[in-house]
């Protein structure tokens, strides 16, 4: 039910605004999530530096105003750069370095005005949100080491008194706690995203495959044949359709049971898949029928492949519950090589060849 809801309705208005600001290109879900975090952080920095620049201007602290302006315009540049890029790993690294520099400046300024130092606690949240769990961990640790040095640096070096031991210890404890909380939250988000991605892939594969044999189903095979037809029109290379049917399969089910019939279908599917190339397509066409598409293969080579499969099935011992089951197959072939040809007509020719083989004694390969 959730998937039937339009994507834009499921998102909040604020999230949609952040996505539009952060990218003019379509993004995958993971990149979109990171992009939202990056845009939110950049907008926060721009807002903060704009407000601080006004405050520092009226306080006649023009040097700090210049730094505020630099932070604002660098953030604005990164924001515009992000909009035109689909993958921006380098920008995230730049943003991570920028966050460390920003945190270091707040630590230095906090030596004279402790309230400025509170911004340092935002660093692990920002790093993990933009960089992910692995790189975020590195950046958070790097900032902690730099920050710890800046806090204990002597007055002669920094021209201001160092932080008290009480503040350093309290900062270290709180920073580590925040880092662990954010890290495990980000880790759980990654696990959830991977789980959802895996579920989507499994669902997509399940919709393409026959549940019993694991081969392509009829619908997916049609899609593959249409794609190969488009490719044939460009490259003028033929492909061969092999339509096959298990001989007297109803007798197998009636005599040995439906479980035995399923065993035969599964075994034949494995044999067929093993005996064609990786670029070829094998499907369960319906019931006891199978359809194989041999890519870039003419009729003569297609007959050779079909004959090898026929012989392999004839020579294979099908044994279920210690009972031997006699199994043979009949094959009908047709080749698609003309631009004016039609896939449905090609399959019909293969079906007619199969029908002919059935009436000529079964267990044979017949080409149209």
Mean pLDDT check: name the lowest of 190-194, 217-221, 310-314. 190-194
**pTM score:** 0.56
Residues forming beta bridges with residue 144, ordered by sequence position = none
Q: Which of 31, 186, 228, 288 is catalytic?
A: 288
Q: State the pLDDT confidence band at 5, using cuts at 50, 70 and 90.
A: very low
The per-residue pLDDT for range 79-101, each reduced to its tens digit, is 777 777 666 677 777 777 777 87
For residue 1, the model assigns a pLDDT of 37
pLDDT attached to residue 159? 74
Interval 281-309 mean pLDDT: 93
Amino acid 32: pLDDT: 74
268-271 CB contacts, 8 Å cutoff, 24+ apart: 268/313, 268/327, 268/329, 269/213, 269/214, 269/215, 271/309, 271/312, 271/313, 271/316
Give residue 72's pLDDT. 84
pLDDT score of 8: 44
Task: Please report, for the chain, the start and end positions of each structural domain, with discontinuous segments joined by +.
Answer: 2-204, 218-367
230 catalytic residue (yes or no): no
pLDDT reading at 10 higher than 80: no
| Largest distance between two CA atoms of the chain | 103
Relative to beta strand 281-286, strand 239-246 is: unpaired
Q: Higher pLDDT residue, 238 or 203?
A: 238
DSSP calls for 57-82: HHTT-HHHHHHHHHHHHHHHHHHHHH
**pLDDT value of residue 232:** 80
| C-alpha dihedral (277, 222, 198, 22), degrees to nearest 10 | 110
Can you read off the two tokens belonging to residue 212?
A: 């019993």
Mind listing the pLDDT tens digit for each residue in 327-361?
999 999 999 877 667 889 999 999 999 999 999 99
Q: Of 19-23, 316-320, 347-351, which range is least confident?
A: 19-23
Q: What is the pLDDT of residues 46-61, one digit of tens each?
A: 888 888 889 878 888 7
3: Cβ contacts below 8 Å, ≥ 6 apart: none
Mean pLDDT across 129-143: 83
CATH number for the domain running over 218-367 = 3.30.70.270
Q: For position 2, what pLDDT does the model report?
A: 39
Burial class (CB in 10 A: 0-12, 13-18, 19+), 299: middle
Query: Is pLDDT above 90 for 120?
Result: no
Please report the pLDDT score of residue 103 as a whole number: 80
More confident residue, 186 or 349: 349
Phi, psi of 318 (to 5 degrees): -95, 110
Query: pLDDT of 250-288, one tens digit each?
Result: 999 999 999 999 999 999 999 999 999 999 999 999 889
Q: Count other Cβ atoms within 10 Å, centred on residue 231.
A: 14
Percent of the chain with pLDDT over 70: 90
- Mean pLDDT, to the nearest integer, of 296-315? 94
Judge whether 136 and 130 are in contact, CB under 8 Å: yes
What mean pLDDT value characterizes the chain? 84
Ramachandran region, residue 272 (left: φ > 0; alpha: ψ -120 to 50; beta: rest): alpha
């Amino acid at each position: 039910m959730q998937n039937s809801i339009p994507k834009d309705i499921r998102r909040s208005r604020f999230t949609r605004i952040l996505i539009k600001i952060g990218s003019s290109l379509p993004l995958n879900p993971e990149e979109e999530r990171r992009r939202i975090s990056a845009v939110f952080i950049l907008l926060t920095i721009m807002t903060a530096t704009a407000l601080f620049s006004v405050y520092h201007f009226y306080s006649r602290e023009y040097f700090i105003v210049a730094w505020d302006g630099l932070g604002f315009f660098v953030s604005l540049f990164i924001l515009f750069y992000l909009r035109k890029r689909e993958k921006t790993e380098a920008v995230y690294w730049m943003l991570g370095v920028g966050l460390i520099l920003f945190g270091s400046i707040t630590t230095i300024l906090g030596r004279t005005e402790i309230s400025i130092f509170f911004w340092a606690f935002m660093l692990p949240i920002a790093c993990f949100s933009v960089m992910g769990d692995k790189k975020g961990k590195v950046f958070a640790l790097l900032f902690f080491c730099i920050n710890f040095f800046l806090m204990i640096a002597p007055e002669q070096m920094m021209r201001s008194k160092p932080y008290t031991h009480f503040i350093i210890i309290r900062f270290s404890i709180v920073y580590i706690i925040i880092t662990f909380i954010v890290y495990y939250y980000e880790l759980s988000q990654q696990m959830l995203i991977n789980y959802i991605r895996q579920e989507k892939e499994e669902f997509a594969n399940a919709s393409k495959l026959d549940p019993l044999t694991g081969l392509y189903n009829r619908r997916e095979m049609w899609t593959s044949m249409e794609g190969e037809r488009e490719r044939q029109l460009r490259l003028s290379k033929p492909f061969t359709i092999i339509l096959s049917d298990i001989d007297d399969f109803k007798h197998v089910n009636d005599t040995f049971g439906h479980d035995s019939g399923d065993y035969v279908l599964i075994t034949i599917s494995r044999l067929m898949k093993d005996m064609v190339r990786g670029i070829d397509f094998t499907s369960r066409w319906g019931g006891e029928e199978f359809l194989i598409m041999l890519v870039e293969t003419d009729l003569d080579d297609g007959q050779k492949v079909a004959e090898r499969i026929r012989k392999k099935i004839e020579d294979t011992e099908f044994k279920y519950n210690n009972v031997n089951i006699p199994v043979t197959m009949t094959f009908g072939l047709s080749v698609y090589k003309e631009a004016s040809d039609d896939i449905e007509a090609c399959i019909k020719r293969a079906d007619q060849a199969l029908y002919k083989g059935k009436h000529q004694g079964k267990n044979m390969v017949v080409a149209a």
